[in-house]
Amino acid sequence: MKGFVTTLITTFFSASVIAGVNKQNFDFVVGVDGTWAQAKSAAESSTKARYYIFLPDGQYDFGRMTGDSNQKTTFSGANVSLIGQSMDGVVCYNAPSAEGIGTTATLYLKKGGIYMQDITLKNNGYVNPNASANRLVCLQDEGDKNIYKNVRMLSGQDTYYTTKAARRTYLEGCEIHGTVDFICGGGQVYFNRCLLYCENRANDVITAPGGNGEKYGYVFESCTIDGAISDGSFTLGRSWQQKPRAVYLNTTMKKKPSAAGWGNPMNTCPALFAEYNSKDVWGNSVDLSQRRSSYSCSKDGSTANFNPVLNSWEASQYTIQNVVGSDGWAPDAAAKLISARQLTANGNKLSWNDDENAMCYFIFCDGKYVANTTQPSYTVNGGNLNSVYTVRAANAMGGLGASSNGVTLSGEIVPPDTTEILEPSENEHVFHFDNGKTSMRAGTDKENVWSCTDEGFDEYKWEIISRDDKPVLYGNEVTYLGRSYKTFKGSNGAQAKLTMPDGVAAKKITFIGYTNDAEVLSVLTEINGDSTVYMTFDKNSSNYASSPAKITYEFSEPVCKDFTFTFSVKQACFIIVLDSEYCGCEKENGGDPSSVDLKVSDEMDDSAYYDIYGRKVTQKTAGKIYIHAGKKILIR
């Protein structure tokens, strides 16, 4: 009966939000109607019930275009929709020169009624390793009834800052990256199916709520915790001020916090820090028996004692309606997207099935914005017969739904892309900043060694060898086979060395990324001692996002043990795709490479074949060793 009532209420509020949507076009398309600065100004002075802004894929330097002297952008418009073309493709950033929780926001929203979707906010401020704090805010949120869907926030400390205790906010499908207190502040905030990503640093803390008597505080529902950190090296949160509350419900913990779960209070004790039904990456229950239940704070003399594990009835009270929708506000209904349209072409006329809940439709050609219209058709003026057109429907808040099938003006129908996420080939592995950890080489004081932590690849590493004063850092994300990977940030002119395990030989290496400079390009000037190589990284920091640079070097003979590489002229940011083979090298002790231990698991299907890393294969190659029915098999 309880489930029926919940469903009935949700349906009622959904209908009240969506039904009877008024057809209208967007008010401002950045790059078509003017600049981001002009769009911001128009929205702030608008008297419309809601103002709609669209940002096509691209890099937007908010700090320089609309920021103050410290590159903080303050947005004072209310009831504004900020819609990006895609979360990966629309990157809005700043680079403040001085740290501070109230002075560094990439975007500071002063008013309520904001709807933001498919945008990445990134704070590129300098992180001083010797400073006591590096507070670099992506989003400073002060409004009531703000909604964020598919929004990524990239920073370290204080990434997402909710400043007002009495405000209500809803996030769905968002990503929040950081290190220390990277979700902090007051208010009643509901995080629905979000990724909480701990960046590489010792003693990460996910949240630092600061309450003011709220009944619920921060609520994390069906979120995922992951990161470039190890199990037990971080905490779920610590109390900041005014007896805060935070609960994690139905969390998937790809990375698990310390056994205690929660950190020491900063200025006061929490009113409640608790969990319910936390699971590991395999779906097993996380052991909560050692979670912290008592607190004392020397700052204000407060103490607190409570059960840190909720029962099922207690957990059931943390609904969206209870937490943020007591007055009928239904943000989850407002964030519901319109399904993909069925698109056809008759000559130059594009047509698709209408939807009464669609405010308007966006037309794209080869992934580029063309127009938006309230009609279920659009006539193309001119155009290439082989260009692919697609359509996406906007909901009442302006959020764009999934893409239609593609069509060409010649009548060809292109199915929707259902294979966006691909896997590397059998012999390839992708090395990126987040699937490893950094450490100091003996005798140095910089973290100049990166070691892979992927299962079966933990003997791979790369390090900067010619400069003891240069650490391995991370750069922006790039896309490879439909996935986003955080890049390594190499050092200009510093030679690096990649080391492989015994019995493995490198056949080919590919660097994918960009030059960390707006004008001058980086060059691969050496690899494995070959200084005749001269390969240019042909994408710089202004245009790498959708199609990063790609350099591939094929070794004349398979290389064993290790090899060097050097980027010069300018700093390169890259991921590494290594194509290797097993049995390409003898072990250093002179033994047969077939004696190397294989990655055998009890969960393997005895009827299938697996490579040496435990990955299932569909085709076998002569001369290689495979695992079959728990045994080593050499294919001849």
Tens digits of residue pLDDT in 601-624? 555 666 676 665 565 655 555 555
Amino acid 608: pLDDT: 73
Q: What's the pLDDT at 13?
A: 34
Amino acid at 252: T
Please return the burial class of 31, using the count of CB atoms within 10 Å of its CB with bins 0-12, 13-18 and 19+.
Answer: middle
Judge whether residue 209 has pLDDT over 90. Answer: yes
- Which among 241, 307, 247, 249 is positioned nearest to 269, based on CA atoms? 241
Q: Is residue 176 over pLDDT 60? A: yes
Confidence of residue 589 (pLDDT cuts 50, 70, 90): very low
* More confident: 622 or 257: 257
Cβ 460 vs Cβ 437: under 8 Å: no
pLDDT digits (tens, 9 = 90+) for 60-77: 999 999 999 999 999 999
* Dihedral, 537, 428, 455, 465 alpha carbons, nearest 10: -40
The residues of the chain that CATH labels 2.160.20.10 are 164-326
Q: In what order do the strands lie in the sheet with 523-527?
A: 436-439, 449-452, 461-464, 495-499, 562-568, 523-527, 535-536
Nearest to 345 by CA among 399, 383, 372: 383
pLDDT in tens, 126-169: 888 888 899 999 999 999 999 999 999 999 999 999 987 669 99
User: Across all residues in the chain, what is the average pLDDT?
Assistant: 87
Per the rule left: phi > 0, alpha: psi between -120 and 50, beta: everything else, 131 is beta
CATH code, residues 164-326: 2.160.20.10
Of 63, 43, 191, residue with least CA distance to 121: 63
**CATH number 2.60.120 is the correct assignment for the domain at 428-590:** yes
Give the side-chain half-sphere CA count within 13 A for 59. Answer: 19
Distance CA 228, CA 434 (A): 5
Stated length of the chain: 636
pLDDT at 590 over 50: no
| Percentage of the chain modeled with pLDDT above 90 | 65
Q: Would you state the pLDDT for residue 12?
A: 31
Summarize the confidence of residues 202-215 as an average pLDDT.
Answer: 90
User: Rounded to the nearest 5°, which phi and psi values hold at 314?
Assistant: -60, -45
Residue 539's pLDDT band, with cuts at 50, 70 and 90, is confident
Name the residue with higher pLDDT: 372 or 583.
Answer: 372
**Which CATH code for domain 1-23+338-417?**
2.60.40.10
Q: Give the pLDDT mean for 343-353.
A: 94
The span from the CA of 406 to the CA of 386, in Å, is: 11
The reported pLDDT for the residue numbered 480 is 81
State pLDDT tens for residues 3-38.
Answer: 333 333 333 333 334 456 999 999 999 999 999 999
DSSP string, 367-416: TEEEEEESSSEEE-SS--TTPPEEEEEE-TT--B-----EE-TTS-EE--
| Residue 474 pLDDT greater than 50, yes or no | yes
Measure the CA–CA gap between 422 and 478, rounded to whole angstroms: 15
d(CA 205, CA 202) in angstroms, rounded, equals 9
Of the pLDDT bands very low, low, confident and very high (cuts 50, 70, 90), residue 403 is very high
Q: Residue 106: what are its φ and ψ, rounded to 5°? A: -60, -40
* pLDDT score at 499: 95
Pull the structure tokens for residue 105. 């926001």
CA dihedral 445, 449, 452, 457 (to 10 degrees): -130
- Over range 569-594, report the average pLDDT: 69
Q: What is the pLDDT of residues 265-319, one digit of tens each?
A: 999 999 999 999 999 988 899 999 999 999 999 999 999 999 999 999 999 999 9
Query: Measured between alpha carbons, how far is 463 from 408 in angstroms, rounded to an integer?
Result: 48
The stretch 526-549 carries a mean pLDDT of 77
Domain(s) of CATH 2.60.40.10: residues in the chain: 1-23+338-417
Tell me which H or E stretch contains 24: none
Q: What pLDDT score does 531 carry? A: 84
Q: Which of 354, 401, 346, 347 is nearest to 373 (CA)?
A: 354
Boundaries of CATH 2.60.120 in the chain? 428-590
Distance CA 229, CA 453 (A): 10
What is the predicted pLDDT for the residue at 323?
A: 97
Half-sphere exposure of 307 (CA within 13 A, CB side): 6
Whose tokens are 């199609």? That residue is: 547
Question: Per-residue pLDDT for 203 more than 70?
Answer: yes
User: Are β-strands 58-61 and 90-94 bridged in parallel, bridged antiparallel, or unpaired?
Assistant: parallel
Q: What is the dihedral of CA 421, 176, 311, 317, to 10 degrees?
A: -100
Q: In whole angstroms, what is the distance from residue 533 CA to residue 524 CA?
A: 7
Q: What is the pLDDT of residues 329-341, one digit of tens each?
A: 999 999 999 999 9
Averaged pLDDT for residues 481-485: 76
Cα–Cα distance between 636 and 622 in angstroms, integer? 5
